[in-house]
Chains A and B, each alone.
Chain A
Amino acid sequence: MAEQKPVHEILKASAENRQLVTASLYDQAYELKLQNRADFRSKGRQKKLHSTVK
């Protein structure tokens, strides 16, 4: 059986609910994207600091 991903909720949603479901999922996607960016920058800073200390 194919894996059910959260995004499939958009396809399953009724026409009335679709925009709300979509907005909620894209909110989560943006949040994850921004978190990943912040983590990436934080790791970069740690690396830089580490190499400076060395």
Chain B
Amino acid sequence: MIGRGHQAILEIGCGSGDLIYAIVDHAEKIVGTDISAKGVEWARNRKYLWSLSGEQSSKIEFLQMSAVQLNFPDETFDWAISTSLVEHLHPEDVSIHMHEVRRILKPGGKYLMWCPNRLGHHKDRDYHFSMLSYREWIEKLREAGFSGFRSTLTSRLPMIDAGFKVFMEQFLTALRIKLMWTHWGVRNVFLVATR
């Protein structure tokens, strides 16, 4: 989906850093950030688990950084990725984060985000402060200046207009259907937005 040949990709809230290592060949520069210094240290230390060449290793950088203050110049990255990050943001920080991501993306750059869906029958988690639905996340992204919202048809490819997921979450909620949310790919939110 992300494809290869990009100049720079950023993962925000990279945790173990495994995604960074996995997509090392997709760009000339791959940067992972995490708010925790321990997390960044952990990600760096997991390098030994991946058989990387010297060239691959030189592309990767891990930095301690808040998701609401991305210390990069404007229009630096082709893609920004966050998995299981945005639900951890303080509600007041969500909009700031979205604007920051838009700022560091190149025109036409993409923001891929994955998080639990508020409507997706998740039990409350201690660290989840911003649980929103597909419709609500799209609204937040739109307010920050993103457009062209895409998602997967079900839980897998192909990519389609994310409006279908909004319809599905509302349809399943209205009918009080609690089954099949995972199969329809609406238990969690998977969105690709374009700057």
State the A residues within 8 Å of B (CB).
Answer: 5, 7, 10-11, 15, 18-19, 22-23, 26-27, 29-31, 34
Contacts and interface: CB of A to CB of B under 8 A. Distances in A.
Contacts of A15: 92
B66 A11 contact: no
B93 A26 contact: no
Nearest to B96: A15
Interface residues of B, number: 17
Interface string B79-110: 00000000000101100000000000000000
B19 interface: no
Contacts of B36: 23, 26-27, 29-30
Nearest to B36: A26
B69 interface: yes
Contacts of A19: 35, 66, 68-69
Given A7-B127, A29-B127, 10 more contacts: A5-B126, A11-B129, A15-B92, A19-B35, A23-B37, A26-B35, A27-B36, A27-B39, A30-B36, A30-B39
A26 B39 contact: yes
Contacts of B69: 19
A27 B38 contact: yes
Interface string B29-49: 000001111110010000000
Interface in B20-75: 34-39, 42, 64, 66, 68-69
A5 B124 CA distance: 14
